Chain A
Amino acid sequence: MGTVHAKTLDPVPMHGRDLGVNPDDLVETSEPEHEAKQEILENKDVVVQHVNIEGLGRTKEDLLGYEISDVFQAKNLIDVMKKAHVARQKLLRLGIFNEVEVLIDTSEGTDALPNGLDVTFEVTEIKRLTGSYNTMVGNNEGSMVLGLKLPNMFGRAEKLTFQFSYGTKETSYGLSFFKPQPGHFERNLTLNMYKVTGQFPWSSLKETDRGLSAELNFPLGIANHTLKWEGVWRELGCLARSASFAVREESGHSLKSALSHTVSIDSRNSAIFPSRGALVRVNQELAGYTGGDASFLKEDFELQLNRRFFWDSVLSASLWGGILYPIGEKVSCIADRFYLGGPTSVRGFGMYSIGPQSEGDYLGGEAYWAGGLHLYTPLPFRPGKGGFGDLFRTHFFLNAGNLCNLHYGEGPRAHLQKLAECIRWSYGVGIVLRLGNIARLELNYCVPMGVQSGDRICDGIQFGAGIRFL
């Protein structure tokens, strides 16, 4: 039997985070080829004698042993091809190889069995150091961004990333070290060190955060858990001399040392335009028990359900909510509170411009909820079907939400009542564009309703870009 060069069954890995291919959109091409050979080969038992990996440089072999061990279990040729394909996916998701080719050949050598097979993975390692340099201009500020990445630093899929942004107004940088557990890539540890500055014109606030964090990710059953410790030195200041006094009172330094836990169950078939599945994410953060000035318990959750409707349209419902409970006598800090409103949450309102405010500066609130109901349909008349047009959708939406501060002395009934009164809501229609597999752009026509005094609205056309939308 000659060599079966099972190079690639599909052009790109199917579940990579950075690649914009939706598995639903791909058509499986492997079946017809195998049909013809199936009656000849399927009954033939084979034994996989050797599995080799060629082209290794700095990668340690013990790391790869786990990924390719399954191939030994294959009993017939079809099985070998399938398991080799799965092993190839696993090797690619480590993020340390540019390309992986699979070669299946009959065994040769003194100990070769008549039905023995050798499987060889030919890999091309990623370069030791990759860099990027960008300049960005926007919002009265220009900046230069330098990125450095060292993939597979010590040979076991560790990754060190450094990003530095030098701008006319602010400078920020971040260093991140990622280490997966050999054999269990989904269990990994990330260590971060960063300085980030942000300006929030809706609160007339500017914030500089310098911090360290350590994060542990691991799957348990169907859920993905993340445990994180974060220590941040926060410096708050007024963005303009005309900032309200309530914001001026928040200026100064504080230290937050917090433990947080997130559990997330994601059964959607895509992150951006899912047509089925659900997402449940619950996050809790406890600050103050590992040092620092800030002391609170924060809970927030995110829920999204998707279901196909008639005629290729998708009905999507989402619900967000959160509560911040300060521990001790201290009042909560403006940097910890929740914000609501804008093109990424309740559409039709200005960015984070709902809720408690003082002289036009929005202070955020300690409890909130927000819900959205969307109907996504392909573009009318389907221009560019099968290609560019598939990146767009039209959507009809209904958003609602409320943000307020709670008086913790009263019972839960009073809290629910407070959250249920003065609901802001809006409805409208718009066009959504998918960017890669992570972000989306929206252009909507919104009609805000239930507007309370103090809220800032954006009725009419509203544009939004971001990663997380209600």
Chain B
Amino acid sequence: MSLAAEAFVSQMAAAEPWPENATLYQPLKDDQILLSDCASSLAVQAYLRMCCLPVQVVCKANAEYMSPSGRIPFIHVGNQVVSELGPIVQFTKAKGHSLSDGLDDVQRAEMKAYMELVNNMLLTAELYIQWCDDATAAEISRPRYSSPYSWPLNNILAYQKQWEVRRKMNAIGWGGKTLEQVYEDVSQCCQALSQRLGTQPYFFNKQPTELDALVFGHLFTILTTRLTSTELAERIKSYSNLLSFCRRIEQNYFEGKSS
């Protein structure tokens, strides 16, 4: 969002408290949603649970087109619609809920850097594996993406999305990478995260922040999603502190409540 739009949203947001009927929209869970969208949605859900803000998850086939930015997930709070984790964090901050208030400037900069790392590495890798790997695209991504639509619209939309993602991958220089290189990049990213986490419960010691929510969303989804090969999940499993980190967050924030 532009600066002016951000300022406007903040001002509007600050006016009202968090309502009971806040809703989060994502594509259909069983048949349609893909790995990258599921990861982003789970990250936002984890963040909101960490802030103790109630939100209802609603699955809609056209969630991607409903979103003002075209990305999943988006939340409908009062009469505001905000999409993606970054703007949602700003939005909740304007309402007075924040997880990163206790951090000093250095830590905040570090947190932003790691979030950028996750977005540039993990999210891009997920998109690459889904759409640029022919086997995954043909077996999983295209059938799932096009499942709510009838012929021939389903084929048109699936291929359109595939071309769009491939064009984007070429633009950022990932077009020439092989699957092995992508797995290597994921490993390196996980190594950086694992090192930063160390033996602490959360990235910034005792309290979870939005970085924890983001990392949890991506790692947990990769671990629990069936892909054509288990290579990606294996790479993550080799870092045991990340595994226990995921389990910890799952136990603290998702178990015992409806997820």
Contact mask for chain B residues 103-131; partner A; CB cutoff 8 A; 1 contact, 0 none: 00000000000000000000000000000
CB<8 Å pairs between A and B, sample of 6: A248-B81, A249-B60, A253-B65, A255-B150, A293-B149, A293-B150
Inter-chain CB contacts under 8 Å: number: 39
- Report the Cα distance A238→B153, complex, angstroms: 21
Cβ 8 A contact of B62, one of A238, A241, A251, A359: A251
Residues of A within 8 A of B151 (CB): 291
Task: Contacts A291-B150, A292-B150, A359-B79 given; indicate if A248 touches B156 (C-beta within 8 A).
Answer: no
Interface: A200 (CB within 8 A): no
Chain B residue nearest to A245 in the complex (CB): B76
Q: Are B81 and A252 in contact (CB under 8 A)?
A: no
User: How many residues of chain B are within 8 Å of chain A by beta carbon?
Assistant: 17
Cβ 8 A contact of B149, one of A241, A248, A249, A255: A255
Q: Are A251 and B149 in contact (CB under 8 A)?
A: no
Cβ 8 A contact of B153, one of A245, A248, A253: A253
Chain B residue nearest to A231 in the complex (CB): B152
Chain A residue nearest to B148 in the complex (CB): A293
Q: Are A252 and B61 in contact (CB under 8 A)?
A: yes
Residues of B within 8 A of A293 (CB): 149-150, 153
Residues of B within 8 A of A365 (CB): none
Interface: A233 (CB within 8 A): yes
Shortest distance between the CB of B57 and any CB in chain A (Å): 16
Which A236-259 residues sit within 8 Å CB-CB of chain B? 237-238, 241, 245, 248-249, 251-255
Residues of B within 8 A of A237 (CB): 65
Chain B residue nearest to A247 in the complex (CB): B66
- Report the Cα distance A252→B62, complex, angstroms: 6
A-B CB proximity, top 5 nearest: A252-B62, A252-B65, A255-B153, A251-B65, A251-B66
Contact mask for chain B residues 149-169; partner A; CB cutoff 8 A; 1 contact, 0 none: 111110011000000000000
Given contacts A255-B149, A291-B151, A293-B149, 11 further A-B contacts (CB under 8 A): A233-B153, A237-B65, A241-B68, A248-B81, A251-B62, A252-B61, A254-B153, A255-B150, A255-B153, A291-B150, A293-B150
- Report the Cα distance A233→B153, complex, angstroms: 7
User: How many residues of chain A are within 8 Å of chain B by beta carbon?
Assistant: 16
Chain A residue nearest to B68 in the complex (CB): A241
Chain B residue nearest to A257 in the complex (CB): B150
Residues of A within 8 A of B61 (CB): 252
Shortest distance between the CB of A361 and any CB in chain B (Å): 12
Shortest distance between the CB of A358 and any CB in chain B (Å): 11
Residues of B within 8 A of A359 (CB): 79
Q: Are A245 and B79 in contact (CB under 8 A)?
A: yes
Chain B residue nearest to A242 in the complex (CB): B79
Contact mask for chain A residues 372-411; partner B; CB cutoff 8 A; 1 contact, 0 none: 0000000000000000000000000000000000000000
Task: Contacts A233-B156, A245-B76, A245-B79 given; indicate if A253 touches B68 (C-beta within 8 A).
Answer: no
Contact mask for chain B residues 63-97; partner A; CB cutoff 8 A; 1 contact, 0 none: 01110100000001001010000000000000000
